[in-house]
Structure 1
Amino acid sequence: MQTKTIIAAIALAFAGAASAQEVVKIGYAGPLSGQSAHLGKDTQSGVQLAVEDLNAKGFKINGKAVKFVMMAEDDAGDPKQGTAAAQKLVDNKVNGVVGHQNSGTSIPASKIYYDAGIPQISASATSPVYTSQGFNTTFRVVANDNKLGGSLGRYATQKLGAKRIAVIDDRTAYGQGVANEFLKEAKKAAGVQIVDKQFTTDKATDFNAILTAIRAKNADLVFFGGMDSVGGPLLRQMKALGIKAKLMGGDGICTEALPKLSGGADDVVVCAEAGGVTPEQEKKLVEFGTRFKKRYGFEVQIYAPYAYDAVMAMAQAMAEAKSADPAKYLPQLQKVKHEGVSGKIAFDAKGDIQDGALTLFGYKAGKKTRLEVIK
């Protein structure tokens, strides 16, 4: 009887010790269904890999090992569903959030996180509005549309020599934002004509009417503000109509999936990814990609390394603050300096990444191929 009592007491003690381990909840919100689900899964997997790595090395906060868990919510790339997903994460008392993916979902969700005092780091939202609302909980680890669109506008006119440009956007916060910044810069170049401006939606599949109008105006470059799920079919139909113009776009179309979605993007597409690494950083990114594919069975699409770095920057801020309490580690996050797989993570007063880089890509043999990194 006495032996049983001792065994029970020991079991209870172990159970108590196990339950005493602090659990740190990292929320992820993004499109896990719908047309951009492949990108949402890419980002979610980057978050999950960071969580697994932190747990594997027994990450400690204030001298105590903690257990990280990911809580994922599907926002389907829809602003209304995005706010609902954000509220669910807040109700579940997450310690921090990585997401949302699109600017159109990140912007309305950011008010919910701000009201709850929960830090939010987007690995992909590029609209300047996102970090211009005065919310001290809002951060991003990629360059914004001012830099993205402007750099593409300069590259189109100065490097590609485009003279007759047509612009299409998908009417989302991201699509309109990056297209407008592209236009502002492209218009500054001498001899450049904006021959047409068209718009579609982020769920459209038929572009014959707008492309026929563009074909009649002999555009030598078409800029598209939107995602690859629309940009791919758009390029497919451009080729079917015999439009010889190059297609240019931001990080939304700059994915490994684009050649498959478009029926081939070789020597036709120039796009930019909101991020970039120096040659010495390249090894880290390649190693990450190899490890990522081994773990998940598919290639990094685009955002996974940035999502991974977002989690790691949060964890570092928690360690420096000696607390996972959002109110306590938020001040540390604002001044964090983290050496990530995508480069140095540090934020300015608005929450934008400092010295954000861009990488320009083309496509060769069905693969995304780096052209150059712009700071």
Structure 2
Amino acid sequence: MIKKTFTFSLIGAAALLAAHAASAQEVVRIGHVGPTSGAIAHLGKDNELGARMAIDELNAKGVVIGGKKVKLELLGEDDAGDPKQGTQAAQKLVDSKVNGVVGHLNSGTSIPAAKIYSEAGIPQISPSSTNPKFTRSGYKTTFRVVADDVHLGGTLGRYAAKDLKGKSIAVIDDRTAYGQGVADEFEKGVKANGGKIIGREFTNDKATDFSAILTSLKSKKPDVIFFGGMDAVAGPMLRQMKQLGISAKFVGGDGICTTELPKLAAGTIDDSQVYCAEAGGVDAAQKQAMDDFRARFRNTTKLDVQVYAPYSYDAVGVLVAAMVKAGSSDPAKYLPVLAKTEGYKGVTGNISFDAKGDIKNGALTLYTYKAGNRESLAVIR
């Protein structure tokens, strides 16, 4: 009886030690913020799922930081695309002592949130915020893995004037930091390439009725209409253009460049009517890696990639790679390594940061829509 008791005691002690070791395993928390509710929830969820997929795959492979195996954990927050809610979400992640942040999706939420992360010394990588101001505030904690609106808007402006041969070009924006910013750069690009802007109109990111501004523009006979905003607004706008008999080409930035746009437009998009650019894209050499990612994403989530899930995925990878190289998940210790990221091989291409935290040599992909499907036209750097 004594022998059995001793044996059971050893077994119990071993179990306790194993449980203690498991509980002692370091947990590295990475925050994600995006609009997972509201009109563009499909885009916020796309980003979050990309980040979560990276976390799951890295945990399956095993991550060792400073000689210790760690467990990665994703803390997701919803900012609903609202700047005020965005800063609240940022503060919540800071209070939760996250080791890094992927987000936010929108420039309008990323910009005010950046100050909060900076004051806490927590690195923030946005997979999709394109307003130039995001990385122009002097914060050492702010990075992005996509090209900015200067590149995106200017390229679309040149494309509208030169390739689409627009002679009378109208501009509409939704007054958000993203929408207004990309529209301003588009207008500059049009004028720099000899195009003429015949009107500039404004709406908001929750509007559904555009009859007044579209009627006003119709009288000016535009051959191209640019919209700075998101797909949830662009879809109804395209429907109302059709109802009013406006046959102008419709151009927009990455906010409208989604697989959901044809559904949101209720099938009213004519072939080669809509042109858009995504702040990102891969060359032929990288196409297989991106195709593989899309297949894994579909298999894992049962959903198709909307736009920026691959960039969220890579943002997580860049953060963790910097921690591994620095031998620490402490933001103060790995931040200098993160800032010097050079040639990280992601599914979206090689990632290197400049002194501002912008991606070097960022790509753009031009798209159009045919038969309700988005088709790639070209990758531009």
Give the TM-score range, shorter chain: over 0.9
Q: Is residue 207 of structure 2 the alignment partner of residue 204 of structure 1?
A: yes
Equivalent position of 1:297 in the other structure? 302
More displaced stretch, 162-171 vs 328-337? 328-337
| Deviation (angstroms), 1:106 | 0.2
Query: 1:243-258, aligned counterparts within 5 Å?
Result: 243-258=246-261
1:152 aligns with 2:126: no
Once residues 374 and 3 of structure 1 are traced to their aligned partners in structure 2, the CA distance between those partners, rounded to angstroms, is 69
**Unpaired segments ≥5 residues, structure 1:** none
Q: Distance in 1 between matches of 2:215 and 2:136?
A: 38
Matched AA of 2:274: V
1:66 alignment partner, SS class = strand
Paired residue secondary structure (2:84): helix
Tell me the alpha carbon deviations over residues 218-237 of structure 1, each in whole angstroms, 9 at most, x when there is no partner: 00000000000001111111
1:47-98, Cα deviation, whole Å (9 max, x unpaired): 0000001001012112322111100000000000000000010011100000
Matched, 1:65 2:64: no
Q: CA deviation at 1:165?
A: 0.4
1:44 aligns with 2:58: no
Counterpart code for 1:270: Y
Match of 2:323 among 313, 318, 321: 318
Question: What secondary structure, in the 3-state scheme, does the structure 1 residue paired with 2:192 have?
Answer: coil
Partners of 2:73 and 2:262 lie apart in 1 by: 35
Q: Alpha-carbon deviation of 1:179? A: 0.1
5+ long unaligned stretches in structure 2: none
Q: Which of 352, 361, 367 in structure 1 is aligned with 2:358?
A: 352
Q: Which of 262, 278, 283 is the matching residue for 2:283?
A: 278
CA distance in 2, matches of 1:355, 1:331: 21
Aligned counterpart in structure 2 of residue 19 of structure 1, from 15, 20, 23: 23
- Asked if 1:193 is matched to 2:196, the reply is yes
Task: Give, in whole Å, the separation in 2 of the partners of 1:267 and 1:154.
Answer: 17
Correspondence for 2:167: 163
Q: Partner of 1:50: helix, strand, or coil?
A: helix
Match of 1:108 among 95, 106, 112: 112
Q: Which amino acid aligns with 2:144?
A: R
Query: Match for 1:106: what amino acid?
Result: S
Letter matched to residue 361 of structure 1: Y
* CA deviation string 1:339-359 (max 9, x = no partner): 000001110000000000100
Tell me which amino acid in the other structure corresponds to 1:236: R
The alpha carbon displacement at 1:284 in A equals 0.6
The answer to whether 1:340 aligns with 2:346 is yes
SS state at 1:187 partner = helix
Q: 1:76 aligns with which of 73, 80, 93?
A: 80
How much has 1:193 moved relative to structure 2? 2.1
The one-letter amino acid paired with 2:142 is T
How many pairs align? 374
Q: Which residue matches 1:237?
A: 240
1:216 equivalent among 207, 219, 236:
219
Aligned-pair Cα RMSD in Å = 0.8
Partner of 1:90: 94
Over residues 112-156 of structure 1, what are the superposed CA-to-partner deviations in whole Å (9 max), with x where a residue is unaligned?
A: 000000000000000110000000000000000000000000111
The corresponding residue for 1:175 is 179
- Shift, 1:8, TM fit: 2.1
Q: Distance in 2 between matches of 1:161 and 1:102?
A: 31
TM-score, normalization by structure 1: 0.98
What residue number does 1:225 align with? Answer: 228
Give secondary structure in 1 for the equivalent of 2:277: strand
The whole-number CA distance in structure 2 between the counterparts of 1:146 and 1:37 is: 26
User: How much has 1:276 moved relative to structure 2?
Assistant: 1.3
Partner of 1:362: 368
Aligned counterpart for 2:141 among listed residues 125, 137, 140:
137
What is the CA distance between 1:363 and its match in structure 2?
A: 0.7
2:39 alignment partner, one of 35, 42, 53: 35
- Classify the secondary structure of the residue corresponding to 1:76: coil
Q: What are the Cα deviations for residues 236-255 of structure 1, in whole angstroms up to 9, with x where unaligned?
A: 11111110101000000000
Aligned-pair identity in percent equals 61
Q: CA deviation at 1:9?
A: 1.1
Output the amino acid matched with 2:209.
D
**Cα deviation digits, residues 151-185 of structure 1 (max 9, x gap):** 00011111110010000000000000000000011
